[in-house]
Amino acid sequence: MTKLPLVTVLALALAACGGTEPRFDATPAAPVEKVSSRYARIEVATVTLPVYAQGEEIHVQDKDGAIVPLGPLWTDEPSRAVTLQIARDLDAITGRLVAAEPWPFRDYPDVKVDVRLQDFYATARGTFRIAGMVYVAPEEAGPDRAKRFEIEAVLPGEGPAAIAAARSAAVAQLSGFIAKNGLR
């Protein structure tokens, strides 16, 4: 009989305990609009989410209005995924140098974009809703801006894959809103 090292046995035991929940990716679509920006270097702060949305669970609004976990999971931590999508979208929309915090470049950013969400769920109406505030804070020149937003993107079908697609569409709309209302 072959003896397995204790570390191997423990690793196998932990692997057996791991979940096999399905995970769904909100694959970002390429933005089609172009918006000029007064800022050459744009930093996107880590997006703040409501408490219920900070975990991996996909949340939906039930018929009574309660926001509950659906069961399936996102492929990535939502705050990180939304932050990275906004940075990618703003890069494509503005053609400027955009990065999520922490700022990875030698020269400092010209402006910081801070998004704080209060709503982040699939509605009972068949949309994905994001709502909150966006803050744009230039390092030197330009006005500070604070803008409220409410965005709902239609689910293209039913189920978690449709929710993920609508989430991506809603975040893309938010990126366009930020470019038009905060970076010009």
Sequence letter at residue 138: P
Angstrom CA distances, 45 to 33, 126, 135, stand at: 23, 29, 10
Whether 165 is in a domain gets the answer yes
Whether 107 is in a domain gets the answer yes
Instruction: Give pLDDT tens digits for 65-74.
Output: 999 999 999 9
Q: How many CB atoms lie within 10 A of CB 125?
A: 10
* Token duo for residue 106: 């030698």
Cα(12)–Cα(110) distance, integer angstroms = 49
Instruction: Say how many domains are in the chain.
Output: 1
Cα(105)–Cα(143) distance, integer angstroms = 24
pTM, 2 dp: 0.87
Whether 142 is in a domain gets the answer yes
Instruction: Give pLDDT tens digits for 109-159.
Output: 999 999 999 999 999 999 999 999 999 999 998 899 999 999 999 999 999
Whether 144 is in a domain gets the answer yes
| Domain interval for residue 172 | 32-182
Contacts of 158 (CB under 8 A, 6+ apart): none
Whether 39 is in a domain gets the answer yes
Cα(86)–Cα(96) distance, integer angstroms = 13
- Residue 149: CATH number of its domain: 3.40.50.10610
Whether 53 is in a domain gets the answer yes
Cα(75)–Cα(57) distance, integer angstroms = 10
